[in-house]
Amino acid sequence: MSTQAFPTEITLTGPVRSPHQMLADQEYDGHASVHDEATADKLGLAGAPIEGPTHFSQFDPIGVTLWGEQWYEQGCISSHFENMVIEGETVQPFATTTNANTARIGATKGDSSSVLSGTISLGPDHGETELDRRLAGLKDPGELFIVDQLEVGQRSEPKRVTMAADEHNGHLYPFSLNDKLKVITENSPWYSTTESPWGRAIIPTEMASVLAHKVGGVGTVRGPAVGLFIDLEVRMIDGPLFVNHEYELLHEIVGVGQSRRVESWWTRTYISDPVTGGLIATVLLHQGVFKASYDKYPAEKL
């Protein structure tokens, strides 16, 4: 980790890494996902992309450098994904502080193209995060044909989940925490032993998204159709999240929209401790569905 001091800011740059793709066997509504090579090829993509949350691990050392162990207790990473990364490509993260508790972040590939942009911050007062800004800027989406049954305010029934070290995490994430730790870009004994400051193994930031979407969901999206992640925020309220600890999930639709190629929706997941009732973390996911991948999409609208 290198640092460069400026009169009013500090820039931290992490090492260059080659992240691994772990979702080749992912099932999305009973069919292969965009992370499948054949499916990616049909959509005209250069290859099967690496799952976006993977890149969050490269920011954990930056968060710890800035704020110590508090990063895992009250840290927030809020990101807009800009270009897909294919296995074999390299990624380098960076962060530039804007005040004592916030920083702008980015990551670039070896060809200097941007992978993501956003913010990291330390709570409880995070200010306006990247996804706060993007969500606030949503406009009337107009006529929808895939996510038309989703409504802002829809909520799921609470579901209980646990992330065990050797347990697969469902059809969306067909790998275990231990599988991930074998290839994670930035490993730590805190993720697998009792050597953490909390005396228990903690869940890496990128795997908080996996926990949040391990079971359930809210509303109905028409399909089959191929989806992708557009934006993702992981915000710790009273963390960290622990391995082998039971949590309660509640999903809420907080936005819907569309672009030229994609219809999309925003889901905020509340992760609570079912014993104390306390809110531990939230995960805000903006995901989309390629219009062209839905057979019933009106041809004149494509």
Residue ranges per structural domain of the chain: 2-301
Confidence class for position 42, pLDDT limits 50, 70, 90? low
DSSP string, 243-285: TT--EEEEEEEEEEEE-SSEEEEEEEEEEE-TTT--EEEEEEE
Phi and psi torsions of 38, nearest 5°: -65, -40
How many Å apart are CA 286 and CA 213, to the nearest integer? 13
Tens digit of each residue's pLDDT (9 = 90 or more) over 11-31: 999 999 999 988 765 455 554
CA torsion sign, 74 to 114 to 32 to 24?
A: negative
- Give the position of tokens 């989940």: 161
**pLDDT for the residue numbered 70:** 98
Strand partners, 91: 17, 109
- Give the position of tokens 């409504």: 151
CB atoms within 10 A of CB 189: 10
CB atoms within 10 A of CB 300: 5
Is the model's pLDDT at 170 over the cut of 80? no
pTM of the model: 0.91
**pLDDT for the residue numbered 33:** 44
Architecture of domain 2-301 in CATH?
A: Roll (3.10)
**pLDDT for the residue numbered 152:** 97
How high does pLDDT run on average in the chain?
90
How many Å apart are CA 185 and CA 179, to the nearest integer? 13
Q: Residues for the chain: how many in total?
A: 302
